[in-house]
Each structure stands twice: as C-alpha cells, then as structure tokens.
Amino acid sequence: MLALMLMLALLAMLMPLGAAAQQAAADTQATADGSARAPEPARITLLNRRIATLRANFLGVSPTDRARRAEEVMREELSRGGPGTVGTIDEPQGTVITIDGAFAFLLTKADADAVGGQTPAAQVAATRSALERAIAETREARDKTRLLSGAIHSLIATALFIALAWGVLWLRHRLVRKMTRLLSAKASGVKLAGLPMFHFSRVYEFSRALVRFLAWLALALLSYEWLAYVFTRFPVTRPWGEHLGSFVVGVAHRIGGGIVDALPDLCVALVIFALARGVVLLVRPVFERIEQGRLQVGWLDADLAGPSRRLFEIVVWLFAIAMAYPYLPGAQSDAFKGISVLVGLMVTLGGSSLVGQAASGLILMYSRTVRVGEYVRIQDQEGTVVQLGTFTTTIRTGLGEEITLPNGVIMGAVTKNYSRAVQGKGYILDTVMTIGYDAPWRQVQAMMIEGARRTPGVLSEPEPRVFQTALSDFYVEYRLVCQAVPERPRPRADVLAALHANLLDVFNEHGVQIMSPHYRADPPDPKVVAPQNWWMAPAQPPQQDGKDKPA
C-alpha cells in the first residue's frame, strides 16, 4: 500500500510528462558533458516557518517545483483537520515525510547541506521537528482563546513600551541641562595661555548631541525588543520574532565569544609590550647619564646620546609591534589587513618628504656636521645653532631673529662652521677691509691687530692674524681672523660691531683712509675723521672720571 502511495505521488510530481522528460534528458546530457550546474536551493515553508531546504533535482523536477508542491500537499492535508502526526519512511530514493500517514514530500540524500557538514539523518530530524512545531502553530492560529491572549499581552507590552519611550524622552531633557551645567563647570577650569579652551555654546552642543545619541539608542533597543515580543505572541509572525531575538543573542554571543577567544592572544601582546617598556626603562638611565656627562663611553658622546636614545626606543617599539601584530584581535581579518595596506600606502606617498627630512637630520647628528652651540653659516643665514631636531634645525642670528631650516636644505647646502677650528669654546671672527696700494701693508696689519686687541670678547691667545687675500686692480684686500668666546647666542653680532668700530677708530687715529678707490686721481684731502669730530651731535661720548675722553 505504501509503495502504491509513493508511486502515485511520484507520478503526480512528474506531470506534465513531456516537460519533465525533456528536463531529465537535459540533466542527463549535462552530466554526460561534465558541465552540470548545481540548482538553486528552495525552502519549504509552512506558516512563515522554514521546514526544510531542497538542494537537488529529483527525476528532472527542480527544487523550486518540489518545494511548491510540498507546500500545497501539506496545506491540503492539514485542512482536513486530522491529528497532524508527522512520520518518516526510509526508501531507496530518500526519506518520505508523511502527515497522518499521507505523503507530504521526499528528502533525498543530495538535499543535505554537505558543505555545512549536515548529514541526511540530521536533516530529516530537523525537518521533522520543524514540521511538528509548524503544525502545532497551525492549530494555535485557529484557537481564538490563545489569539485573544496574545493580543492582550501585545497591548500590555505596547503600553509599557510607550511609557518607557516617554520616560526616555523626559530623561533626555533633564540630562541635557544637568550635563551642560556639569561640563561647563569642569570646562571652565581648563585653560590654555590663560584663556578657556571650551566655549559654553560648544559645551552645550556637545552635551545635547551626546544625550540625543544615547536617547535614540535606547529608543531603538526598546523598539526592537517590543517588536520581537509582539511578533512571538502570534503563530503567523512568531518565526519573525524568533529571528529578531536570535539576531540580538547571536550578535552578543559573537561579540562576547570574540572577546573571550581574543583574551589569550591579547595577553601575549600585552606581555610583549610590557617587555618592550621594561627594556626602554632599563636602558634610558644609561643614555641620560651619558647625555648629562656623568658617564663616558668611547663610541657615544653627550651630543649623540639624546638622539641615540630616541632611535633605540623607536626600534624597540617597532620590534614589539611586529612581534605582537599576529596576536592583536582582528589582525588576520581582511579589514585589518586592508587598513594596514592603506596606512602604508598613505605613509609612502604622503610621508616621503618627512622621511627624507628625518634621514637628513640623522645624518647631520651622526656625521657631526653641526652641533648645538656652534656658530655656522648656511646659505645666506648665519647664527648660533640652538636646536638640532629630527626634521628641522633652528639657528639664532643675534639680530633678534630665529631661523628654522629644514634638514634637507642643510644637507644640500654648503655649511661654514665658525666654531669647529677654535681652541675651546667659541667661534672664529673675521672681517675684510680693502686699502689702497699707497698704504704700507705692515702698517695696515698692525692697525687691524690693534683694533682686534681693543675689542672686548676677542681673545689674545691665539693672537689675531691678518692675511692679504687678494691684490686687486685698485686696492689690497686684508682679512682679519681672530677668536671670540660667546656667553650667549647674541654676542657675535655685538663683538663684530665693536670690532668694526675699533678698526675705524684706529685707522682715523693714524690718518689712513679706508676706501676702495675706483678713481682717476687721489683726493686733495685724506678721507679720515679727526679725533675732535668723533663725537659730533647727536653722538654722546662715554663718561670717564668726570671728563669727556675719546674711546
């Protein structure tokens, strides 16, 4: 009898015979050619609940047609008002699912989700359980008492939802006022350069936006829970409510499970970072003692101790990040890898100039081209180096200017260092004068040395020297070279000005005119200033022992 029922059901499924035969022939030909494609899966649903998923053709019938016919047969059997007993019968073609002993549909072995690891037996068990629950919900949908109970529970839940939503909106207005007062009181004490960093209007807007976000988040969660609860009160919408509830639970489970699973790797990463910090703190005092001059090391001096310490710390932390990277949460995800590639590309394209400046700064530091405190000339800029940074170098001219030069510019320019070839601390001071051929060169040298000796800040040892650097067409070029010791960055400009003033005085005292004569004839009177005219108005002579004396 059962075999006859199975044959009749199969014959019904094969209608119309012509189309089914053609489909079977096409499937057979596709299989023979090795080009068969897997059919689209189809779901069997009853009262919005999924009963089973069909994934394979059976005797030329697609999963979609099989699912549609199975739903029609189940509705027809349940409309008869029987007990709704679900049964299973194993056949060579698969497992037959019956309702009250009547054929409902057939599950083949190919319908199981092999990719997901589902076995045919597990699929049959899940299908039977889902069908029994759907049949029970079908009876519940016809029970007016249970429907009325669901409606009452839904009304109570709706009233509670409205009350809670009103409470959230009321609390939002109260929180905006309280948070504004609290943040304003706290923000008023935060000042920068004596001025408050946060304005009241900005604090108010921030408080309002924050409370509004929290309120909308609370309303969204309340709406979600209310909708899921109401859906589960009625058989027709219960699968939707269960799906909404399982979604929240699934998200919470994934987040919580992800945190728990990431804890061991995160602990390893924290241990790596702790070891890196320990190494940095252990080595830092050594570099600090070298930088302060309390420790002498042959291969590292005080000037390079600071940048060497920073380089060592950077290398240690980079090594720690590389070691801890595989243990960071999400490090193996495609999103994390994509962000890493994007950041690397941005650094490569946009940070090439910064990397070049940093490399130039390291070269300047370790090649000792310039040092802090040295007096240098770079291109048209001249002054004392006050800061040698990673990206820029700062020099102070002594004329009220502080100039910042990129390290790349310094690397590409000629640097003249006035402090390197001196005895002890200080710098080289030089100036050039051009005197005519009618002045004895020995006298000129003596006068220039005398002017250097009169200048405060110029050392007597080593002695100032004068060089004839050029014999031009109309004059001789004399260069005075001496050494000065600065106490602060400004004095070089002051010392050079005093040196020029003393040179003018010495040449005037000896009646030697300072000029570079592009002339046709000598002037009738020497171009010198008599001593009695040195302090002509508005100049004021210095007071010495109550008497006016020329310097």
Residue 451: the pLDDT is: 93
DSSP secondary structure, 485-509, as one string: --SSSTHHHHHHHHHHHHHHHHHHH
Q: Quick one: angle between helices 63-78 and 120-142, nearest 10? A: 40
Distance CA 465, CA 456 (A): 17
pLDDT at position 435 over 70: yes
Give how far the C-alpha of residue 223 lies from the chain's centroid of Cα atoms, to the nearest Å: 36
Distance CA 200, CA 184 (A): 6
Distance CA 334, CA 173 (A): 43
Length of the chain: 551
Query: Residue 105 forms beta bridges with which residues?
Result: 97
pLDDT at position 53 over 60: yes
pLDDT at position 278 over 80: yes
Identify which has the larger pLDDT, 96 or 332.
96
Indicate the Cα dihedral angle 91, 97, 98, 102, nearest 10°: -60
Residue 486: the pLDDT is: 59
Query: How would residue 2 be classed by pLDDT, with cut points 50, 70 and 90?
Result: very low
pLDDT at position 49 over 60: yes
Q: What is the DSSP letter of 105?
A: E
Q: Please tell me whether the peptide bond between 285 and the residue prior to it is cis, using omega within 30 degrees of 0.
A: no
Residue 31: the pLDDT is: 42
Contacts of 85 (CB under 8 A, 6+ apart): 99, 100, 101
- Positive or negative torsion for Cα 348, 351, 354, 358: negative
- Burial of 229-239, coded b for 16+ CB within 10 Å and e otherwise, reads bbbbbbbebbb
Query: How would residue 184 be classed by pLDDT, with cut points 50, 70 and 90?
Result: low
Fold of 356-417: SH3 type barrels. (2.30.30)
Query: How would residue 191 be classed by pLDDT, with cut points 50, 70 and 90?
Result: low
Identify which has the larger pLDDT, 432 or 291.
432
Indicate the Cα dihedral angle 205, 210, 212, 217, nearest 10°: 160
Element (H, E) at 543: strand 543-544
Taking a C-beta distance cutoff of 8 angstroms, is the pair 291, 304 a contact? no
- Taking only the tens place, the pLDDT of each residue in 307-362 is 788 888 888 998 898 888 888 776 666 777 777 777 777 767 666 676 777 777 77
Structure tokens at 330: 């999400």
Mean pLDDT for the chain?
A: 77
Mean pLDDT, to the nearest integer, of 405-434? 78
Query: How would residue 468 be classed by pLDDT, with cut points 50, 70 and 90?
Result: very high
Element (H, E) at 467: strand 465-471
Residue 160: the pLDDT is: 92
pLDDT at position 460 over 90: no
Least confident stretch, 121-135, 277-291, 393-407, 417-431: 417-431
Least confident stretch, 7-11, 175-179, 217-221, 415-419: 7-11
Mean pLDDT, to the nearest integer, of 518-542? 69
Q: What is the DSSP letter of 544?
A: E
Residue 350: the pLDDT is: 63
Distance CA 499, CA 459 (A): 12
Domain range 427-518, its CATH number among 1.10.10.10, 3.30.70.100, 3.10.20.520, 3.40.1010.10:
3.30.70.100
Distance CA 384, CA 398 (A): 8
Specify the residue for token string 């640097």: 415
Mean pLDDT, to the nearest integer, of 299-313? 76
Residue 452: the pLDDT is: 92
